[in-house]
Amino acid sequence: MISLITPSLFLDILIGGLILGAIYSVIAAGLNLQYGVTRMLNVAHGDFLMLGAYLTYFSVTLLNMNPFASIIIVGPSMISIGLLVYALIFRRVVTLSRTAGELEFRSLLLFFGLSFVIQNLAMILWTANYRGYEAPTFGSVNVLGVTFEVNRIIIALISILINIFLYLFLRYTKVGLAMRATVDQPEGAQIVGINIYTIFAISFCIGVLLGGWSGILISILYSAINPFMGVPYTLIALVLVVLAGVGSFKGNIVGGFILGYLAYFTMRVIHSALTLVVIYAVLIVILLVRPRGLFVR
């Protein structure tokens, strides 16, 4: 089962894991941000990813766009959807909940309901038939004897860029600063005059946006779009949040790469069917040692 680790295999794993990890970290970024700031666990995250994938599909097939460019459509759409959902559903619960724990509890049910609604709406509107579009491919490159698909490399680079943008946003803008403050000390943040409810809304929308964005990327790689495709990605995002430590941006990236390496290594060297098992085993070990995740706030 386990083949010898030759230099080229090592390189393959080194870069392959990196690429996969970059993608994972983008998938989870939105969820991590939302939970970190608002303490609401968005189990419908994968469904926003699905919406992003469908929007990309329509942009490509109806408007003849390049999928990489479809962020122009997907971006504003996801933000609008996020605002709508937040205003209609979550704002009331946020203002009514007396404690963070209560909010966590109640919002969970809301997100499940939302997940059902989004999935079923997608099914009614677009049927459960698989959809796909012709994605641009650029073949593969040879790096020191190992081949990698250019598409994946591009997506990994975009993912890293997204992470950089996010980092800059959180670190240097007023809003970003306010968000980080809210993650650390919700009460303290309120005392210094930050309007938590606005911050909640913004974080939620950015989270939805990131979810949709990762949907674009996934749909480029993986062309079987259907209303229920988001479910496995929710799991990946959730596992990553636990691994990384809640609300930790660094953790999200590092955790993403750890996950990516684990998955790639398992598929390449051990046996693909054990991927999730290995991930969970490592997760358990990490949690035994650091119960709050890798990077604690």
Identify residues 105-124 at the interface with other proteins (CB under 8 A).
105-106, 108-110, 112-117, 119-121, 123-124
Q: Which amino acid type is present at position 17?
A: G
User: Does residue 61 belong to the site contacting other proteins (CB under 8 A)?
Assistant: yes
Which residue stretches of the chain are H helix? 7-38, 45-63, 71-85, 91-96, 100-126, 150-172, 174-184, 186-191, 196-221, 231-244, 249-265, 275-289
Ranges within 7-26 binding other proteins (CB under 8 A): 12, 16, 20, 23
To the nearest 10°, report the CA torsion of 157, 159, 164, 169.
150
User: Does residue 49 belong to the site contacting other proteins (CB under 8 A)?
Assistant: no
User: Does residue 191 belong to the site contacting other proteins (CB under 8 A)?
Assistant: no
- Rounded CA-CA distance 106/103 in Å is 5
User: Does residue 135 belong to the site contacting other proteins (CB under 8 A)?
Assistant: yes
User: Does residue 175 belong to the site contacting other proteins (CB under 8 A)?
Assistant: no
User: Does residue 131 belong to the site contacting other proteins (CB under 8 A)?
Assistant: yes
The candidate with the shortest Cα–Cα distance to 52, out of 22, 31, 73, is 73
Among 76, 84, 130, 145, binds other proteins (CB under 8 A): 130
Ranges within 240-259 binding other proteins (CB under 8 A): 241-242, 246
Residues whose CB falls within 8 Å of the CB of residue 271, separated by 6 or more in sequence, listed in order:
1
Nearer to other proteins, 175 or 268 (CB): 268
- Phi and psi dihedrals of 169, rounded to 5? -60, -45
- Contact assessment for residue 31 and residue 238, using Cβ atoms and an 8 Å cutoff: yes
User: Does residue 194 belong to the site contacting other proteins (CB under 8 A)?
Assistant: no
Residues whose CB falls within 8 Å of the CB of residue 190, separated by 6 or more in sequence, listed in order:
196
**Residue 258 CB, nearest approach to other proteins (Å):** 16
**Residue 281 CB, nearest approach to other proteins (Å):** 9
Annotate each residue in 256-295 with x if it binds other proteins (CB under 8 A) or - if it does not, as one string. -------xx--xx--xxxxxxx--x--xx--xx--xxx--
**Residue 171 CB, nearest approach to other proteins (Å):** 25
User: Does residue 33 belong to the site contacting other proteins (CB under 8 A)?
Assistant: no
Strands 146-149 and 140-143: antiparallel
Q: Which stretch binds other proteins (CB under 8 A): 66-74, 161-169, 173-181, 239-247?
A: 239-247
**Residue 99 CB, nearest approach to other proteins (Å):** 5
**Residue 280 CB, nearest approach to other proteins (Å):** 5
**Residue 172 CB, nearest approach to other proteins (Å):** 29
Total residues at interface with other proteins (CB under 8 A): 93
Query: CA 3 from chain center: how many Å?
Result: 32
* Distances, alpha carbon 140 to alpha carbons 49, 117, 149, 194, 222, in Å: 26, 40, 4, 49, 17
Nearer to other proteins, 61 or 80 (CB): 61
- Rounded CA-CA distance 84/245 in Å is 29
- Rounded CA-CA distance 297/293 in Å is 10
